[in-house]
């Protein structure tokens, strides 16, 4: 499968199967696997049986149409497939008895799509994002089991050979099985730490799509997947009142929506377009509305965290009809809070960009220069821009040069190259602009 | 219930910066932790090992039996001791390892035994 396979089909594309079959599969995969995993206590069997059920659906649905409750249909078929498998494997006699009694309790009516079923997916995501698994394996497992992406799709998204990704996923499932990583929602004392691990996985998926270490500027399949999973996580948390309010979940969803709302304006003709030059009429108003609603809602809980603050910063930008109307002092204030919550040189760098708008490029440059980020292209690009605004052309030129060398993707490189080439020639004395 | 090996990894050099009286609180903490394990039924077996330089390696995989001065692997950290515990799942075993590590002041590796 090529790297475009996981993207939604282009509008008007020839559909040689029931429309949206792939997106139905993806939407229901986590629910079906999670439900089976809980009842069978076997993640591998749950995944295989779900795969078999999807094959049956792929054969039948194009002719017979998608059933009214596709998740319930798939769960029933997958359960039967799992039982068949268990019957064939006689050595698992004890499990057969257990499941055979269980099957009597499975109602012929499709299960309700809410309630304990949501719980199952929540358990599954905590299993997939368990700290005993390596971070890259958490990402792969989450996309595979919750997101329903194929191994080939995940491999191409992260630019590793399919066999490598398959091995990574197999080993992770083996570790879950052998070490008995539990299939449950962590207790209240562990929940905050474990939840932040889950959010980090979703944000990793999103950033891989948005920042594209792969060389492309945007991988909309991954950003859309991260948003979809974050939305599911939010539903699951809301459906589990015992967890209480967890505003960072809303904060992360808002952050991703607000960043994604600008995706269409971010690259034009293969060149990165900086925030202040973007055509704001092309920003996605629906995503912005949802993002703003979420930001207001979670800030009202008054338990600020890194995702909420970053979402709030983005909301200040999406609030401004024109770049010149941006409330930069509010951006600086929010960055002050963010720096207090999660002190890091990268946050300090982004804060300095906002400071430049309030106190001028000279003040900002003094903040940027001492940061230990000489290997980070954005540090050089920020310096280059500040030096350009100060009319220090030669220093700006060499900073652009370093930024171009280190930049990860082509649209950004092209943008930086154009900025550098637009600087006045070395001999021209220039006043500060 | 699954059995887990909680192994203690010490620097091979031992702890040269710690003398006998420094070690007393560590011994006391490990002793207290052992009693907790025994009290809640998690305890299977545990023990501390002599220094890695006391190890001898026997290799009978070929036709000749080779006996050599150990340890088997020359690494910076060596197995210093271990617990074998019973736990319902990995989270419970990790929690025991956290308490064990705090008591013995060394990193602890958690590994499940094969079932059956």
What digits encode the pLDDT tens for the residues A351-378?
999 999 999 999 999 999 999 999 999 9
List the single range of A23-37, A100-114, A249-263 with lowest mean pLDDT: A100-114
Contact residues, chain B to chain A, C-beta under 8 Å: 2, 4, 88-91, 93-94, 110-112, 114
Cβ within 8 Å, pair A179-B91: no
Going from the N-terminus, what domains does chain B have, and what CATH number goes with each?
A: 2-112 (3.30.70.1060)
A8 — pLDDT class (breaks 50, 70, 90):
very low
Sequence-distant (≥ 6) Cβ neighbours of residue A40 within 8 angstroms: A46, A82, A95, A99
Q: Is the pLDDT of residue A386 over 80?
A: yes
DSSP helix/strand/coil, A284: coil
Distance (Å, rounded) from C-alpha A201 to C-alpha A135? 7
Cβ within 8 Å, pair B112-A178: yes
A346 — pLDDT class (breaks 50, 70, 90):
very high
For residue A98, the model assigns a pLDDT of 59
User: What phi, psi does A353 have (nearest 5°)?
Assistant: -60, -40
Residues of B in contact with A194 (CB under 8 A): none
Instruction: Let me know: does A201 contact A142? Beta carbons within 8 Å.
Output: yes
Cβ within 8 Å, pair A181-B112: no
Nearest residue in B to A181, CA atom: B90
Question: How many other CB atoms are found less than 10 A from the CB of residue A269?
Answer: 7
Report whether the peptide linkage leading into residue A283 is cis, meaning its omega lies within 30 degrees of zero: no
For residue A92, the model assigns a pLDDT of 52
Q: Which of A271, A263, A30 is nearest to A149 (CA)?
A: A30
Residues of A in contact with B90 (CB under 8 A): 130, 132, 179-182
Q: Is the pLDDT of residue A15 over 80?
A: no
DSSP helix/strand/coil, B21: helix
User: What phi, psi does B81 have (nearest 5°)?
Assistant: 175, 180
For residue A119, the model assigns a pLDDT of 66
Residue with the larger pLDDT of the pair A323 and A9: A323
For residue A24, the model assigns a pLDDT of 82
List the single range of A35-44, A345-354, B93-102 with lowest mean pLDDT: A35-44
Distance (Å, rounded) from C-alpha A386 to C-alpha A374? 16
List the single range of A91-95, A197-201, A419-423 with lowest mean pLDDT: A91-95
Residues of A in contact with B88 (CB under 8 A): 180, 182
Q: Determine how β-strand A271-272 pairs with β-strand B56-59.
A: unpaired
Distance (Å, rounded) from C-alpha A111 to C-alpha A32? 11
A428 — pLDDT class (breaks 50, 70, 90):
low
Distance (Å, rounded) from C-alpha A250 to C-alpha A296? 10
Cβ within 8 Å, pair B2-A180: yes
Within 13 Å of residue A298, how many CA atoms lie on the same side as its CB? Answer: 28
Q: What is the pLDDT of chain A when averaged over all its residues? A: 84
List the single range of A247-251, A299-303, B111-115 with lowest mean pLDDT: A299-303
Q: What number of residues does chain A have?
A: 433
Distance (Å, rounded) from C-alpha B57 to C-alpha B72? 6
Sequence-distant (≥ 6) Cβ neighbours of residue A429 within 8 angstroms: none
For residue A238, the model assigns a pLDDT of 82
Burial of A90 (0-12, 13-18, 19+ CB in 10 A): exposed
Nearest residue in A to B116, CA atom: A178
Residues of B in contact with A179 (CB under 8 A): 2, 4, 90, 93, 110-112
Instruction: Let me know: does A332 contact A358? Beta carbons within 8 Å.
Output: yes
Is residue A94 within a helix (H) or strand (E), and if so which, with residue range?
helix A93-105
Cα A202–A207–A213 angle (5° rounding)?
A: 135
List the single range of A5-14, A325-334, B97-106 with lowest mean pLDDT: A5-14
Closest CB from A180, A186, A190 relative to B112:
A180
Domain boundaries, chain A: 19-113, 245-343
Q: Which of A280, A185, A314, A290 is nearest to A241 (CA)?
A: A185
Q: What is the mean pLDDT of residues A206-219?
A: 63
Residue with the larger pLDDT of the pair A213 and B78: B78
Report whether the peptide linkage leading into residue A270 is cis, meaning its omega lies within 30 degrees of zero: no
For residue A90, the model assigns a pLDDT of 61
Structural tokens at position A383: 């310096």
A96 — pLDDT class (breaks 50, 70, 90):
low
Question: Chain A: nearest CA to B13, how far in angstroms?
Answer: 29
Q: Which of B89, B90, B92, B110 to mutate to test the interface with A (most CBs of A within 10 A)?
A: B90
Question: Chain B: nearest CA to A177, how far in angstroms?
Answer: 10
Start-to-end CA distance of chain B, whole Å, equals 12
Cβ within 8 Å, pair A180-B110: no
Within 13 Å of residue A332, how many CA atoms lie on the same side as its CB? Answer: 13
Instruction: Let me know: does A63 contact A17? Beta carbons within 8 Å.
Output: no
Long-range contacts of A160-166 (CB under 8 A, 24+ apart): A165/A140
Q: What is the mean pLDDT of residues B83-102?
A: 96
Q: What is the mean pLDDT of residues B2-29?
A: 84
For residue A166, the model assigns a pLDDT of 95
For residue A212, the model assigns a pLDDT of 58
Residues of B in contact with A132 (CB under 8 A): 90, 94
């Amino acid at each position: 499968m090529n790297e475009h396979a996981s993207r939604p089909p282009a509008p008007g594309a020839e559909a040689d199967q029931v429309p949206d079959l792939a997106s139905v599969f993806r939407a229901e995969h986590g629910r079906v696997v999670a439900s089976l995993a809980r009842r069978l206590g076997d993640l591998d069997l749950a995944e295989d049986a779900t795969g078999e059920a999807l094959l049956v659906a792929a054969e039948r649905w194009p002719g017979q149409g998608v059933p009214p409750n596709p998740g319930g249909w798939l769960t029933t078929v997958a359960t039967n497939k799992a039982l068949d498998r268990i019957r064939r494997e006689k050595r698992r006699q004890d499990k057969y008895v257990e499941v055979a009694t269980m099957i009597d309790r499975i109602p012929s009516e499709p299960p309700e799509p809410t309630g304990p079923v949501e719980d199952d997916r929540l358990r599954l995501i905590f299993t997939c994002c368990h700290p005993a698994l390596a971070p890259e394996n958490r990402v792969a497992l989450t996309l595979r089991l919750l997101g329903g992406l194929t191994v080939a799709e995940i491999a191409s998204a992260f630019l590793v050979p399919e066999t490598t990704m398959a091995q990574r996923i197999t080993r992770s499932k083996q570790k879950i099985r052998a070490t008995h990583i539990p299939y449950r929602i962590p207790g209240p004392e562990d929940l905050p730490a474990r939840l932040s691990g889950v959010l980090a996985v979703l944000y990793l998926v999103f950033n891989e799509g948005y920042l594209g270490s792969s060389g492309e500027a945007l991988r909309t399949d991954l950003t859309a997947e991260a948003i979809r999973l974050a939305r599911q996580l939010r539903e699951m948390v809301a459906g589990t009142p015992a967890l209480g309010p967890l505003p960072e979940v809303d904060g992360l969803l808002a952050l991703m929506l607000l960043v994604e709302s600008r995706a269409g304006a971010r690259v034009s003709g293969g060149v990165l377009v900086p925030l202040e030059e973007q055509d704001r009429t092309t920003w996605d108003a629906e995503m912005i509305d949802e993002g703003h609603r979420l930001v207001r809602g979670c800030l009202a809980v008054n338990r600020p965290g890194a995702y909420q603050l970053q979402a709030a910063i983005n909301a200040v930008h999406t609030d401004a009809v024109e770049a010149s109307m941006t409330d930069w002092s509010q951006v600086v204030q929010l960055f002050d809070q963010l720096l207090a919550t999660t002190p890091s040189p990268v946050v300090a760098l982004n804060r300095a960009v906002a400071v430049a708008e309030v106190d001028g490029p000279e003040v900002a440059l003094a903040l940027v220069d001492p940061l230990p980020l000489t290997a980070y292209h954005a540090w050089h690009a920020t310096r280059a821009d500040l030096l350009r605004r100060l009319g220090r052309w030669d220093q700006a030129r060499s900073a652009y040069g370093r930024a171009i060398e280190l930049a990860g993707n082509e649209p950004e490189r092209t943008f930086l190259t154009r900025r550098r080439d637009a600087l006045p020639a070395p001999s021209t004395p220039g006043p500060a602009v | 219930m699954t059995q887990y090996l909680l192994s203690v990894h010490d620097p091979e050099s031992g702890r040269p910066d710690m003398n006998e009286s420094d070690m007393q609180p560590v011994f006391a903490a490990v002793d207290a932790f052992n009693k907790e394990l025994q009290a809640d039924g998690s305890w299977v077996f545990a023990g501390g090992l002599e220094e890695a330089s006391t190890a001898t390696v026997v290799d009978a995989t070929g036709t000749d039996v080779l006996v050599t001065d150990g340890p088997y692997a020359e690494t910076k950290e060596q197995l210093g001791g271990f617990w074998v515990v019973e736990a319902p799942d990995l989270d419970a075993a990790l929690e025991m390892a956290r308490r064990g590590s705090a008591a013995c002041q060394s990193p602890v590796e958690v590994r499940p035994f094969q079932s059956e």
